[in-house]
Amino acid sequence: MKRNGISIQIYEDKEQASVAVAQRMGELIKAKQALGKKAVLGLATGATPIGVYEELIRLHREEGLSFQNVITFNLDEYYPMQPASDQSYVAFMQQQLFAHIDIPAENINIPDGTLGQEVVDTYCEAYEQKIANAGGLDIQLLGIGRTGHVGFNEPGSTADSLTRLVTLNEVTRQDAASAFDGLENVPTQAITMGVGTIAKAKNIILMAWGEKKAEIVKKALEGEITTEVPATFLQKLEGVEFILDKEAAGRIDG
Ligand code: PGA
């Protein structure tokens, strides 16, 4: 099924959907290996991609999939944030994926939440450049927030926005409150790839699970393209797929 240029695949449950996404990534990694090239993966955090990472770990352990030729760029990190903090996306990625596979540590890139304000802009430009130097993102994984954010591109983010320091939306902070033991502990800012950074990826896979995401998935696919729902910019791109479970797909028109 297609809607406004976006391919939509609906799975019985998020487990089957996650396995399908991980297997696609595994195929890409192996195809690049056969050519002696690197696979460049744009990765996401949050609850949504955890099943994908579980399957990638299984492919590594049980089927010998190697990540030696993989370079990763994560979408975002809270700011300020120390990597050793339990809530950091550095910790998340270690626990959910990197500690369990054979990716070289120097191939992992996650925005640095420890920088001083005065060097953040230069750092963000360098992050963009590093993605470009790696040959661009082959696949970018995305979740979607209830605000319609992708990465931490909150309402107001423009189509050409690049990696930068942003202020988090209140809804996003509320959704993170339990992980931080209270809203007051959730950082107010983050460093995120921009909508324009994501748009340059050769393939974009947005995943959403559960009834809670049904309304925003509908808006992202069928709504007017607007900075108020940054995910609607995906309608303008080639090579975008939405991988949904039945519940998240529940409100898409016929
Ligand atoms: P979630 O977050 O995967 O935890 O639902 C998605 C997002 O906010 O982008």
pLDDT category, 183, cuts 50, 70, 90?
Answer: very high
Q: Is 136 helix (H, G, I), strand (E, B) or coil?
A: coil
pLDDT digits over 207-226, tens only? Answer: 999 999 999 999 999 999 99
Atom of ligand 1 nearest to the CA of 172: 8
Quick one: average pLDDT of 101-121?
98
Atom of ligand 1 nearest to the CA of 151: 9
Percent of the chain predicted with pLDDT > 90: 99
Quick one: average pLDDT of 231-245?
97
Quick one: average pLDDT of 159-174?
97
C-alpha 76/C-alpha 163 separation (Å) is 9
User: What is the Å distance from ligand 1's center to 36 Cα?
Assistant: 34
Give me the residue label for tokens 């990625």: 93
CATH of domain 2-245: 3.40.50.1360
**Model pLDDT, residue 191:** 98
Atom of ligand 1 nearest to the CA of 149: 9
Give Cβ neighbours of residue 6 (< 8 Å, ≥ 6 apart): 221, 234, 235, 240, 241, 242
Give Cβ neighbours of residue 168 (< 8 Å, ≥ 6 apart): 152, 154, 186, 187, 188, 189, 190
Do residues 111 and 194 make contact, with C-beta atoms less than 8 angstroms apart?
A: no
Write out the two tokens for 153.
């591109």
Given ligand 1 and candidates 92, 144, 193, 245, which is best to mutate, with the most ligand atoms within 8 Å of its CB? 144
For residue 154, indicate whether it is catalytic: yes
**Model pLDDT, residue 127:** 98
User: What is the Å distance from ligand 1's center to 150 Cα?
Assistant: 9
* Residues facing residue 28 across a β-bridge: none
Examine the pLDDT at 254 and tell me if it is beyond 90. Answer: no
Give ligand 1 pocket residues (Cβ under 6 A): 46-48, 143-145, 149
User: What is the Å distance from ligand 1's center to 151 Cα?
Assistant: 9
- pTM score: 0.98
Quick one: average pLDDT of 176-192?
97
Q: Please give the mean pLDDT across all residues of the chain.
A: 98
Quick one: average pLDDT of 32-47?
98
User: What is the Å distance from ligand 1's center to 105 Cα?
Assistant: 25
Report phi then psi at 154, rounded to 5.
-80, 170
Give me the residue label for tokens 């009834």: 211
**Using CA positions, which residue lies closest to atom 7 of ligand 1?**
145
Query: How do 108-109 and 2-3 pair as beta strands?
Result: unpaired
Quick one: average pLDDT of 147-151?
96
Strands of the chain (E only): list them: 2-3, 6-11, 39-43, 70-74, 76-79, 108-109, 139-142, 164-167, 189-192, 203-208, 240-245
* Active-site residue, selected from the candidate residues 77, 154, 241, 247: 154
